[in-house]
Chains A and B, each alone.
Chain A
Amino acid sequence: MKGIIVAAAALSLLVAPAFAEQSVKIGFVTTLSGPAGVIGKHMKDASTLALEMLGGKIGGLPATIVYGDDQFKPDVGRQISEEMLQRDKVDFMTGFIWSNVLLASYQPIIRSGVILIGANAGPHELAGAMCAPNYFSASWQNDQTPEAMGKFMNDRKMNDVYLIAPDYAAGRDMVNGFKRYFKGKVAAEVYTKPGQSDYQVEISQIRQAAPKALFIFLPGGMGIQFVKQYAQSGLRDQIPLYSAFTVDETTLPAIGDAAAGNYEVSFWSPDLDNPRNQQFVAAFRAKYHYMPSYYAAQSFDAINMIDAAVKAVKGNLADKQGMIAAIDKADFPSVRGAFKYGPNHFPIENFYLLKIVKDADGEYVRKIQSTIFADHADAYASECKMK
């Protein structure tokens, strides 16, 4: 009897690795602590919801998501990415809020052959010279969104605009994108410390410069602090504030009145009218009792892209080429509606003008006003030589 048990145990050891192959593991890198922790919460909640709505399965295989906190630090992001690749042996990598964290983590992931789906950051390097077959963006290229704001402000014949962005990879991309479509005079470009929380010095400078308008890119806690302090300074009624990735569902609960009536731009909004999006927003609100942001929408799409890829190869995770070809078709129900992939694996999609208004419940939300760009591709695709 004892012998049989030992034999069975030994056999089960042999069988175990085969079983392990039949599951999907996804590494998810985001920021879960500090002022940007709320962004990570949106992304974690949305990806958890996506997996739950798929019945806990990716492409029909049992699946788990491993979360890692990059603390908004490139070195930490790279370290946890390498841990996920080597220790957790993940089949896919996704997440990444910050361009500098993604750039630092990019090479080890790409070299490992694991498919990487950026669920937020879209630095221009990765859309151009550093593009790779096993990298896709589920969001946008950094320049695209501020390009839409640049076009909007240019169409309104605005002039003398003051620009503020954090001094890191995405900050430079945002300013470049804005200037690509804004042809009026730029009063100044100011780069602040990433993670800065007191903007009084910069606000005093704005008052002295007395520009006609202000365009800022200050995501997460930085935006909360800036917009509140800007309202406190009394400048808000004199110099209108326009922003990208700053006043959104992650920051509005803390900003509130200080951003009422402001304009933003995005490829997505909770009120975007398509059945998949309404299903996502309703499920998200029912489960978490708050409004999802684009960070949540992108993460939700990223998990569903992975699901479509694994389905296309019928669970054969070794067939990387097959999965890459499947993702490239963008043939999955996206919350942004139908879209296509460009040759550099970045989406070609619409960008909308949004306004901050109060909804029926008295909460501040972002509402779509108009379409600024339809099927807008990024500016770097021609630099990408896909090997």
Chain B
Amino acid sequence: MTAVLEQLLNGAQFGVMLFLMAAGLTLIFGIMNLINLAHGSLYMAGAYVAAATFAASGSFLLALLAALAAAVALGAAIEIVVFRTLYDREHLDQVLATFGLILFFNELVRMIWGATALYMQVPAFLAGHVELLSGSPYPTYRLAVIGAGLAVALLLHLLIARTRIGMLIRAGASNRAMVDALGVNVTMLYTLVFALGAALAAFAGAMAGPIFTVESGMGESVLILAFVVIVIGGIGSLRGAFVAALLVGIVDAMGRAFLRPLLASFMSHATADNAGPALASMLIYILMAAILLIRPQGLFPPRGR
């Protein structure tokens, strides 16, 4: 039983990190109708700035703040310089342009920090482990990631559901033309949403630093999963992104942990050793295909479209 609980925690931890990525992606896609492949670059920028600041200053909180500030500035700059010309273009043009941004940022990171990966230490005050269940210590840092992720999700929910800006964002997602006609400065709103998405991605990147390796191109593998999450959750829906991110995180952890023993219970060990890891890495995509078969719009498609 503790085995399952512990893997649930592992899955939840991966899930909230995916949510931070997917939230920005789904807002940008839902509101601006823009496919932003460079979202992973903002995640990478967050991780690099955090790793560099942490190494230089020794303060993890300062590292987080620096990552957020850098990503907001970078996000706003990209929005103003690149994306404003892309809103009216086709999705294919957007994909090409933002793919170009990925190549640009990966190379830029190599020029600044070098090709070899950076390793970020876990901050000292979160370095130990907590005995959650008896006899089963769990790393404190990972609990902190879950806590921080859930807190951000709650804040985001309050921002979208309870504030004036949130109302405009929701309205923009439902009917852009009408919001524009009512005299709202949509250009400003877009820049704001984009900066918010960038900050979320950078936060995910900074939190991921001590868990994953900080390297050029680190954003792409997460980006693919984040796209899976927003497709499962329903494009444009924050609630969907949250549920889908946890679902994907937990399915991934369970697959890696229990699929091989499960296969071994009814086939030879050698076959299970071969098939287990292969099937576990496919599991998320099988889940996506199954959900799309039943609900082509995703789990929580936003209303009004």
Q: Identify the A interface with B (CB < 8 A).
A: 32-35, 37-38, 41, 69, 167, 189-193, 197-198, 200-202, 204-205, 207-208, 221, 224-225, 228-229, 232-234, 254
Contacts and interface: CB of A to CB of B under 8 A. Distances in A.
B166 interface: no
Given A204-B7, A234-B137, 18 more contacts: A33-B216, A34-B115, A34-B216, A34-B217, A35-B215, A37-B117, A189-B273, A190-B260, A192-B277, A193-B277, A198-B211, A201-B256, A201-B257, A202-B256, A225-B213, A229-B139, A229-B211, A233-B137
Given A34-B217, A197-B212, A224 B129 contact: no
30 contacts: A33-B115, A34-B215, A34-B217, A35-B116, A37-B117, A69-B115, A167-B277, A167-B278, A191-B276, A193-B281, A197-B212, A198-B211, A200-B211, A201-B10, A201-B256, A201-B257, A204-B3, A204-B7, A207-B136, A221-B213, A229-B139, A229-B211, A232-B127, A232-B139, A232-B141, A233-B137, A233-B138, A233-B139, A234-B129, A254-B119
A63 to B, nearest CB: 25
Nearest to B121: A228
B70 interface: no
Interface residues of B, number: 37
B42 to A, nearest CB: 19
A200 B215 contact: no
Contacts of A200: 10, 13, 139, 142, 211
Contacts of B257: 201, 204-205
B116 A191 contact: no
Contact of B14 (A35, A193, A198, A229): A198
Looking at B115, B137, B212, the one whose CB has the most chain A CB atoms below 10 A away is B115
Given A204-B10, A232-B129, A191 B139 contact: no
Nearest to A198: B211
Contacts of B142: 200
Interface of B: 2-3, 6-7, 10, 13-14, 110, 115-117, 119, 122, 127-129, 136-139, 141-142, 211-213, 215-217, 253, 256-257, 260, 273, 276-278, 281
Contacts of B141: 232
A32 B122 CA distance: 26
Nearest to B137: A234
A228 B209 CA distance: 13
Contacts, number: 85
A208 B13 CA distance: 19
Contacts of B3: 204-205, 208
B183 to A, nearest CB: 48
A243 to B, nearest CB: 18
Nearest to A250: B116
Nearest to A71: B217
B273 A38 contact: no
Nearest to B216: A33
A38 B116 contact: yes
Contact of B117 (A189, A221, A228, A229): A221
A201 B138 CA distance: 11
A190 B260 CA distance: 9
Nearest to B215: A34
Contacts of A32: 115
Contacts of B115: 32-34, 37, 69
Nearest to B131: A234
